[in-house]
Every structure is written in C-alpha cells, then in structure tokens.
Structure 1
Amino acid sequence: MIVSDTFWDFEHAGWNRDALATSYHQHLGEVTAGCIPGLLQAVKLKAGDKILDVACGAGYVAAAAHKVSAEAIGLDFSAAQVRLARQTYPHIRFIEGDAEALPFAEKQFDAVVNSFGMPHVPHPQRAATESFRVLKPDGRFAYASWCEASKCIGISMVYDAIREHGSLDVGLPPGPNFFSYGDLKFASDMLGRAGFRDISGTELPLVWRVPSPEAFIEAISSGTVRAAAVLNRQNPANLENIRHYLRKMILGFEHDGGFAVPMPALVVSAHKPMHH
C-alpha cells in the first residue's frame, strides 16, 4: 500500500493532543511498560551507556534506563508527550523530533530503543536507517511492537468488531500495516536493509487488565489515534453494535475480579557491526 503523505500529519495531530497523551498514559501505558525489561535487556544496557529512546511517549523507557545509570535522552514527535515526559521525569532530557530525521550526528549512541512507536511512522525503513546512523559501531537497537493480529486480541478484536458491524473505509489517510512489526520476517528485512545484523525476536505475553468492558472501550476511544478515528466515524447504529460486540468479547476474558485481555508484544533486537 502506498503511504499517504498526510499519514504523518494525521498521526502527529492525534498524538499532539494533551487529552489523548494523558489517556494513553493512564490506560495503555501500563501495558506497554511491560516491555521495558525486555527492551533494555535486548540492547544489553549497562551503566554509563548513552541511550536514545525514540518515540518516548511519557518517558517510561528513558526513566528505566536512567535508573540503571545510563545516560538517557527521549525523543517524540508529539509536543504533548514531551511535556508529559518532562513533567514526570524532570531530571531527564526529552526533546521534540522526528524518528525519520533524528536531530543527532552519526555514531552518538551505544543503544537506541523504540517502544511501540514504529506503527506510527509513515516510512519505517527511514526510521530504522536513522537509528542505525546515530548508533556507534557495535551499538544495539531494539524495538517493541504488538504481535500479529491473530495473537494481539486486544487490538485485533476492535478491528474485527468494525469489520463485522461497520466499515474500516472511513477516509483515513493510508498508512503502514499496524501489525507488520510483530512479524520477525518483516522486521529482519527492514532492519537488514538498514545495515543491522544479528536480528532476533522475543515474544512477551503482555496482558491488558481492565476493570470492565466499558473501561476498555473508553480507553480505545480516548487513548488511541487510528482505532479511535475509525470508531468515531461510524454511524450511531453501527457504533452501538460494535460496542455490543466488544462487550461480549471482553466478558470472555474475565479474570480475578476484572478482565485480562491478551496484548502480546514482540521485542526485536539487532546489532550494528563494529566496522561500519
């Protein structure tokens, strides 16, 4: 699929809203934070390393790196996310910037990580190539992203509900396949073209714990960009049917007084060769 030039504008406008950044932080942030130990392990982070957290969001990964005495910098294209990160972690440097055009000279970092940011860039190949460029020789890169749709029930069931009771064709600018990054073959091709070697993946069995089906639906509607936009553009009758479908699905994940929805992620790691 050809990626529309307006995809970046669409994503940027969505993530740049304070209310959305806060909602994501309150709801999905708890799930995505589950990948942090895996990401830092994948880049073999140690004290004194200089690490760049691309698409840093509210700053969790940079903060975890700082805790182990690494020198962390966070970057995000959303001013709202950068504000949130700076408020939460005032002792860490966070800057506004584009994953596809990193504002750093080459060979600056021992490690670069990207936590759930890849599906939100229009040209993931450029983002991979930029991460490679700013890494020192022998540096390491890792990203986390949702597993393929058949495994990542929490997100795929939203699109299943829309397919069943509404329409996915609501005039959004076309973008990359949201689930591609959870496929190791796709990741290997993309990172290999950027120059990376030793590419491997580890699946993390993350779970989204929600108190009620309504809480899940509210989180998707207020704390995402693409899924929320597709939901918000359905007609009222279809939207009610979609919500009913989702309530029924979530009831099947009842666990320990709440609901535990499967949201597995893939952590992909790669290495920049020493002589490059």
Structure 2
Amino acid sequence: MEGSNYQVIRKYELDTWTRCSSSYNETWATLTNETLPLLISKTNIGGNVTVLDIGCGAGNSTSKISETGAKVIGIDFSQKMIDEANSAYQSIVFKPSDAENIPLEDNSIDVVIANFVVHHFAEPNKVFKEIYRVLKPNGKFAFAVWGANEEQSSLGSFFQAFANHHEMSELPHGPLFGITAFETYNKLITDANLKNFKLEKLETNWNMDSLNPLINGCWDWGNLHLFPEDKQKDIKDDLIKNCESFKKGKSYSFPHSAMIGYAEK
C-alpha cells in the first residue's frame, strides 16, 4: 500500500472513531462485547496472564478482560478514546498508540486480543508483524471481525434507511470491512510468522431495550449530525420502520455474525 493511501485511510479511521469516543461504550461496545467471552476462553486468559487489547476504544473490552484477573494493557490510536477509557476505568493501563508501533518490548505479552479492529487497519501486515514481535514464544492471538455484510441485521436496517436518502459512499468503511475469506487472514498470519491459524464463524445477537444504541451509534459513526434536520428525520423514520421485524415484545434482538480468528507464535 502506498504511503499516501495509508495516510488517507488512517486519517479517515481516526476521525471516525474519535468522533464516536464519547458514546462508544453505550453504543457499539454493547454489540462487540458479545464476542469477548469466546476470545477470552479460546486464549485461556486468566490470572497471571499478560494481555494486550489492541484498539481498546473507550476501554469496555479491556475492562471485561481485566475481570478475569489478567494483567491487561489497552492501546488505541485515538487520544479521545484513551481519555474516555482512563476516565471510566482508572485501575487499568491505557496508552495512546498506533498498532503498527506497539509500545511494548519483544516477547513480553502472553495474549493479544483485537476485537473488531482488524478491518480498520490501514496496514494490517505491519500490525500482524508487531503482534508477533510482542508475543512471547507460544503466545496466543485472537481477533474478531464482522461476518458477511448481509448478516449484520442492525447495520443492514440502517444501510437500507440511509440508501433511501443518500449515497452509500458517504459512510465510513474499513479496508477489510465485510471480508470473511480464510485466505485473506491466513496470508496476514503467515507473513507475520504466526502459526496454527483457525477461522470460525460465530452467530450472535445484539439485544437492546430501545433503539438508542443503534441510532446513536450510527449517527456518530456516519456523522449524520451534519445532515439537514429534515433528512436526518427521514433516515431515522425509515430506520425505525426497518427495525420493526426485529422487535421482541418491548425490546429488540438483531442477529449478527462475526468471524473469529486464532493463531499462535
């Protein structure tokens, strides 16, 4: 990837997730947390285990990992995300850092977790090589990315509503967003000298008592606050209609899928 493309993607991602920092733990984190128990169990995270949480966001995932008794460090390239994490979880270490240049020594970490962040990396090859560098021999790496786009029902409801009123190209999208092919991730793993790669699909649900996590998350992520108020209202009205089929009593349950990858040093 050319440096200029890398810089464009990086700025794009940084602007997007910095914008989402204040609402993240109440919006997207309530979905991405669904994969954490599996990542934790598959990598045997527990007491006396050192863990690096890459793309920790506002710290919710790092806190969940810390509850196992592990010693965990969270890093994120957005200073505002780190500020939110430090404010919410003061007993955990968080560092502002690019994943391409992890501020840790060689062979210093037992487990690296990257929960719904791999598809946002501008240079994933560099990140996977950094993960290899900081892992101890036989250390474990686990990540989660979105499954196929058509299997993300909450986002699908939003995309349909948005497309009724605006060009889809206006929305953020990571370089590997929606990529589910084993070969794509296996090459990243192999090029980084990691081994024993496995990729599996996880079916999950995003459950919410109201549509606020979805609406607020999409508005921050897509920067819809900048749209004219009448267009925002039209998109929101269509989104609410699209969500009716996922209503369970007074709550909502949206089926989702994720791809879960595992490897070792």
TM-score, reference length from structure 2: 0.87
Q: Deviations over 1:180-199 (max 9, x none)?
A: 2x443322222222222111
Cα distance in 2 between the residues matched to 1:216 and 1:173: 16
What secondary structure sits across from 2:84 in the alignment? helix
Q: 1:30 to 1:214 in 2, by over 3 A?
A: closer
Partner of 2:196: 198
Name the amino acid aligned to 1:150: E
Shift of residue 158, structure 1, vs aligned partner: 2.9
Moved more, 233-242 or 43-52: 233-242
What secondary structure sits across from 1:185 in the alignment? helix
Q: 1:71 to 1:215 in 2, by over 3 A?
A: closer
Partner of 2:42: 42
Name the amino acid aligned to 2:190: G
Shift of residue 99, structure 1, vs aligned partner: 0.8
Cα distance in 1 between the residues matched to 2:166 and 2:247: 26
Cα distance in 1 between the residues matched to 2:68 and 2:173: 40
Contact 1:208 1:260 (8 Å CA) reproduced: yes
Contact 1:55 1:115 (8 Å CA) reproduced: yes
Partner of 2:253: 260
Cα distance in 2 between the residues matched to 1:237 and 1:59: 35
Partner of 1:16: 18
Shift of residue 45, structure 1, vs aligned partner: 1.8
Shift of residue 42, structure 1, vs aligned partner: 2.2
Contact 1:4 1:173 (8 Å CA) reproduced: no
Aligned residues: 263
Partner of 1:159: 159
Matches within 5 A, 1:115-264: 115-170=115-170, 175-180=174-179, 182-213=180-211, 216-222=214-220, 224=221, 228-229=222-223, 231=224, 241-264=234-257
Q: 1:107 to 1:4 in 2, by over 3 A?
A: closer
Structure 2's unaligned 5+ residue stretches are none
Name the amino acid aligned to 2:178: F
Q: 1:24 to 1:62 in 2, by over 3 A?
A: closer
Shift of residue 173, structure 1, vs aligned partner: 8.5
Moved more, 147-156 or 205-214: 205-214
Shift of residue 271, structure 1, vs aligned partner: 1.0
Moved more, 238-247 or 37-46: 238-247
Structure 1's unaligned 5+ residue stretches are none
Name the amino acid aligned to 2:200: T
Name the amino acid aligned to 2:57: G
Partner of 1:55: 55
Cα distance in 2 between the residues matched to 1:91 and 1:214: 29
Shift of residue 147, structure 1, vs aligned partner: 1.1
Contact 2:26 2:213 (8 Å CA) reproduced: no
Q: Name the Cα RMSD after superposition.
A: 2.6
Contact 2:51 2:111 (8 Å CA) reproduced: yes
Cα distance in 1 between the residues matched to 2:263 and 2:156: 27
What secondary structure sits across from 1:22 in the alignment? coil
Partner of 2:91: 91
Cα distance in 1 between the residues matched to 2:196 and 2:164: 41
Shift of residue 207, structure 1, vs aligned partner: 1.8
Contact 2:120 2:176 (8 Å CA) reproduced: no
Contact 1:155 1:263 (8 Å CA) reproduced: no
Q: 1:232 to 1:64 in 2, by over 3 A?
A: closer
Contact 1:55 1:75 (8 Å CA) reproduced: yes
Name the amino acid aligned to 1:148: A
